[in-house]
């Protein structure tokens, strides 16, 4: 086989091809920011944040609510909160957990001065299920975890029954 070489046409002009253009990270960043702002319309954030759970959008702590045979148990992780900053109330069948944190820190040294302040509050309310003994609700707080035990009434404990499934 003979070696055949093809000559490619050469243009006397030095026009850069897209592959030859210089890549600039700031250009791609600018185009991405422009794209985001072009998508911004009234209600954009409402649509975006509507997909997130409420606990993420309002700074409200997530809560686990578990049912056992004899009680319901509510557990909330509240890091950095102390028991004196919490308030748990029951009114008209609604259990409310409130908290407020206020912290300030100052450090002074020869070369610098540091001042930090953190504050914020939250509130979560839960409609209690039927069959909770309101007089026997117990709350405890340890290591940043709030645990509220809601005992069931004896009638609510016996109310469950197994239903057989018929096959046809």
> Does residue 75 sit in helix, strand or coil?
strand
In a domain, 88, yes or no: yes
**Distance separating alpha carbons of residues 47 and 76, to the nearest angstrom:** 28
Q: What confidence score (pLDDT) does residue 9 get?
A: 64
Are the CB atoms for 63 and 77 separated by under 8 Å? no
> Nearest 5 degrees, angle CA 115-CA 117-CA 118?
150
In a domain, 69, yes or no: yes
In a domain, 108, yes or no: yes
In a domain, 16, yes or no: no
- Average pLDDT for the chain: 78
In a domain, 8, yes or no: no
User: In the chain, how many domains are there?
Assistant: 1
**Does residue 28 register a pLDDT over 80?**
no
- Which residues are CB-contacts of 132 (< 8 A; sequence separation ≥ 6)? 72, 150, 151, 152, 153, 156
User: What's this model's pTM, rounded to 2 decimal places?
Assistant: 0.55
- Residue 96: CB atoms within 10 Å: 13
Q: What is the pLDDT of residues 44-101, one digit of tens each?
A: 555 555 555 544 445 677 889 898 888 999 999 888 788 888 999 999 989 999 988 7
Q: Which domain range does residue 93 map to?
A: 59-158
In a domain, 41, yes or no: no
CATH number at residue 107: 2.60.40.790
For residue 53 the two structure tokens come to 């759970």
- Residue 115: CB atoms within 10 Å: 9
In a domain, 141, yes or no: yes
């Amino acid at each position: 086989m003979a070696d055949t070489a093809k000559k490619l046409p050469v243009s006397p002009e030095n026009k850069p091809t897209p592959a030859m253009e210089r890549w600039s990270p700031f250009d791609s960043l600018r185009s991405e920011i422009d794209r985001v702002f072009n998508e911004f319309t009234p209600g954009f954030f409402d649509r975006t944040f509507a997909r997130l759970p409420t606990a993420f959008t309002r700074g409200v702590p997530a809560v686990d609510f578990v049912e056992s045979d004899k009680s319901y148990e509510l557990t909330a992780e509240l890091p950095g909160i102390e028991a004196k900053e919490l308030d748990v109330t029951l009114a008209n069948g609604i259990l409310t957990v409130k908290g407020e944190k206020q912290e300030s820190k100052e450090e002074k040294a020869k070369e610098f001065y540091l001042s930090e302040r953190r504050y914020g509050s939250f509130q979560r309310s839960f409609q209690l299920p039927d069959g909770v003994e309101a007089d026997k609700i117990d709350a405890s707080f340890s290591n940043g975890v709030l645990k509220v035990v809601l005992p069931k009434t004896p009638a609510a404990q016996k109310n469950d029954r197994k239903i057989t499934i018929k096959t046809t």
